[in-house]
């Protein structure tokens, strides 16, 4: 492993995106627009917006970074650049971390714009601070990226990669507590929810909604998010084979 | 001079089909070796095995004295795939600089390599806007900048204009003169004459391992296309199933022992021609 190679890989991925203005626009502004939409959906229920809007600040970056990363990695696999990279001194983890950091940077920008829109234009209100919400949103995005890197290994085309979104992301959205409190779900659904990583992003955000200071439970959730990210990256590295049939 | 690459009884299967059938050959150090054969003859697979990205069934490939694919070789072996593998959404310069950073050779080497392949004027251009020939050269630049000891190039001159092709071949020889070993594949027979040594591949077997001159002499023709044809016709085992793989493989050198003697005396050219 080499820090230098990891960082130049991050730089390379960011340069690729820098040349793609439309993607930058979509990444930065779509979540803010959707949150604004949500604000008017719950126009008569500001308390519901506070709750749902905050949870969405964690769910959007997870979803968009999952998609962007899995397609970016799939391109790397199908264009032959991955095979080429694996004949160079680059370590597999250099590549995955390089991607992870690049998308974390994008996710941070996305979280900042979406949170700024939510807090300052739409009067979103949480007991905890917006800074903590942004931090959790970024960790959620990095988690989404690393799961995207892993799932791209199972797709052989962009058609398939896009189809993995409903398979991998939607169940997590349904079971994370956004639509219905997890405690009120039937037992086996709770168990399923317990093993899905997005649950912990949303749970951490629920803590910020309810308490002014970071709670122990919130930190535990964040620790689980980080652990799940590492597991996904390591599994992702295992799917990168230098020798292929 | 010693061989940079030694391939011994290499067997590769892809999708249940034998693609390389007990191939044994060598690539001489500091020379330009041409790997020729029709499409589907196994050229790319052999190259992939040499750079260590091909899963093999059996046999041994050693590169610069180490097993192919060793971590230490990744700095010393450059590989250019047949379809250009560079980032389409980066400029030529950005691509070159990224690959230079992986090899630790720095920006100057990157810019120099871009200039060497004749892309200095297009350095700031997005790779997706390049022509096919330029694209292939951008990909080549990303291997040249590593200053590798062994350069494996899969059909690098396809689609290049004749003047550029001439330039590229001249560059290959300059690199070889400076000590780099080159293995260059092509399915264009007229490129064979530009190589120091030739490996002729057909249907996963080695037909010949000769210099172009020897090949001309043995097959009694100046035209490599017909030389190739005569070699095929001269083989006693025209049908691929009547002998065991060990006997059939690589007429000039069927095993490690034969690999020591280079002259292609085993090729019975008189019989069929």
Question: What values do phi and psi take at B15, rounded to 5?
Answer: 55, 40
pLDDT given for residue B224 in this prediction: 74
% of chain B beyond a pLDDT of 90: 54
How many CA within 13 A on the CB side of residue A84?
Answer: 29
For the ranges B3-17, B136-150, B171-185, B243-257, which has the lowest average pLDDT?
B243-257
**Contact status of B54 with chain A (Cβ, < 8 Å):** yes
A242/B86 CB distance under 8 A:
no
pLDDT given for residue B236 in this prediction: 59
Size of interface A-B (CB pairs under 8 A): 72
Query: Which residue on chain A is closest to B19 by alpha carbon?
Result: A245
Packed helices A3-18 and A21-41: angle between N→C axes, nearest 10 degrees: 80
Q: Indicate whether B252 pLDDT > 70.
A: no
* pLDDT, tens digit (0-9, with 9 covering 90-100), for A38-64: 999 999 999 999 999 999 999 999 999
Residues of B in contact with A5 (CB under 8 A): 101-102
pLDDT given for residue B271 in this prediction: 33
% of chain B beyond a pLDDT of 70: 85
pLDDT given for residue B1 in this prediction: 58
> What confidence tier does A169 reach under pLDDT thresholds 50, 70, 90?
very high
The one-character DSSP state at B86 is S
% of chain A beyond a pLDDT of 90: 81
- B50–chain A nearest CA distance, Å: 11
pLDDT given for residue B221 in this prediction: 78
Q: Indicate whether B22 pLDDT > 50.
A: yes
Residues from A in contact with B at Cβ < 8 Å: 4-5, 8-9, 11-12, 15-16, 19-20, 79-81, 83-90, 242-245
| 3-state class (DSSP) for residue A33 | helix
- Complex ipTM more than 0.90, yes or no: no
pLDDT given for residue B254 in this prediction: 40
Other CB atoms within 10 A of residue B188 CB: 13
Q: Give the total residue count for chain A.
A: 245
pLDDT given for residue B216 in this prediction: 83
Residues of B in contact with A87 (CB under 8 A): 51-53, 74, 77, 79
* pLDDT, tens digit (0-9, with 9 covering 90-100), for A60-89: 999 999 999 999 999 998 888 998 999 999
Packed helices A130-151 and A92-116: angle between N→C axes, nearest 10 degrees: 140
B85/A81 CB distance under 8 A:
yes
Report pTM. Answer: 0.84
> What confidence tier does A106 reach under pLDDT thresholds 50, 70, 90?
very high
The CA distance from B240 to B237, in Å, is: 7
Point out the residue among B51, B85, B126 whose CB comes nearest to the CB of A19: B126
* pLDDT, tens digit (0-9, with 9 covering 90-100), for A141-167: 999 999 999 999 899 898 999 999 999
The CA distance from A73 to A96, in Å, is: 9
Tokens of A122: 């739409």
Tokens of B25: 């050959």
CB B145 within 8 A of CB B113: yes
Q: Indicate whether A231 pLDDT > 70.
A: yes
* Partners of B7 in the β-ladder: B25, B61
Q: Pick the residue of B71, B102, B127, B155 with the most A CBs within 10 A to test the interface with A by mutation.
A: B102
Q: Indicate whether B241 pLDDT > 70.
A: no
Residues of B in contact with A102 (CB under 8 A): none
Q: Are strands B3-14 and B58-63 parallel, antiparallel or unpaired?
A: antiparallel
**Contact status of B57 with chain A (Cβ, < 8 Å):** no
């Amino acid at each position: 492993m080499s820090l230098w190679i990891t960082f130049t890989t991050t730089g390379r991925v960011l340069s690729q995106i820098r040349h793609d203005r439309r993607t930058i626009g979509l990444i930065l502004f779509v979540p803010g627009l959707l949150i604004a939409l949500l604000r008017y959906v719950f126009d008569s229920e500001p308390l519901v917006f506070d709750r749902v809007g905050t949870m969405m600040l964690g769910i959007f970056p997870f979803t968009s970074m999952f998609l962007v990363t899995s397609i970016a990695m799939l391109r790397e696999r199908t264009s032959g650049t991955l095979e080429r990279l694996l004949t160079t001194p680059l370590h597999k983890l250099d590549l995955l971390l390089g991607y992870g950091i690049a998308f974390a940077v994008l996710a941070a920008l996305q979280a900042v714009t979406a949170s700024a829109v939510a807090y300052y234009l739409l009067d979103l209100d949480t007991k905890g601070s917006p800074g903590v919400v942004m931090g959790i949103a970024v960790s959620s995005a990095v988690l989404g990226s690393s799961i995207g890197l892993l799932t791209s290994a199972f797709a052989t085309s962009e058609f398939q990669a896009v189809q993995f979104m409903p398979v991998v992301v939607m169940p997590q959205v349904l079971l994370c507590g956004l639509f219905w409190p997890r405690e009120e779900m039937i037992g086996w659904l709770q168990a399923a929810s317990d093993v899905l990583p997005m649950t912990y992003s949303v749970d951490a955000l629920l803590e910020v909604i309810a308490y002014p200071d970071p709670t122990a439970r919130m930190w535990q959730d964040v620790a689980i998010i980080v652990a799940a990210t590492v597991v996904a990256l390591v599994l992702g590295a295992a799917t990168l084979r230098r020798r292929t049939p | 001079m010693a061989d940079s690459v030694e391939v011994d009884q290499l067997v590769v299967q892809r999708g249940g089909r034998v693609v390389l059938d007990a191939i044994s050959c060598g690539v001489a150090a500091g020379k330009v070796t041409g790997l020729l054969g029709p499409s589907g003859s196994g050229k790319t697979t052999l190259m992939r095995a040499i750079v260590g990205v091909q899963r093999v069934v059996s046999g041994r490939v050693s590169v610069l004295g180490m097993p192919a694919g060793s971590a230490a070789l990744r700095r010393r072996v450059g590989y250019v795939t047949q379809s250009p593998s560079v980032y389409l959404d980066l400029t030529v310069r950005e691509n070159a600089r990224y690959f230079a950073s992986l090899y630790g050779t720095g920006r100057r080497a990157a810019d120099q390599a871009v200039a060497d392949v004749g892309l200095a004027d297009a350095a700031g251009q997005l790779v997706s806007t390049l022509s096919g020939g330029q694209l292939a050269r951008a990909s080549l630049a990303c291997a040249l900048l590593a200053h590798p000891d062994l350069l494996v190039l899969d059909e690098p001159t396809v689609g290049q204009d004749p003047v550029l092709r001439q330039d590229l071949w001249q560059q290959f020889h300059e690199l070889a003169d400076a000590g780099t070993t080159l293995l260059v594949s092509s399915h264009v027979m007229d490129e064979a004459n530009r190589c120091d040594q030739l490996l002729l591949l057909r249907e996963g077997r080695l037909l010949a391992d000769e210099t172009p001159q020897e090949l001309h002499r043995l097959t009694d023709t100046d035209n490599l296309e017909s030389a190739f044809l005569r070699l095929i016709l001269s083989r006693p085992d025209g049908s691929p199933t009547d002998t065991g793989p060990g006997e059939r493989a690589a007429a000039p050198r069927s095993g490690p022992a034969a690999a020591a003697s280079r002259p292609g005396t085993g090729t019975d050219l008189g019989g069929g021609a």
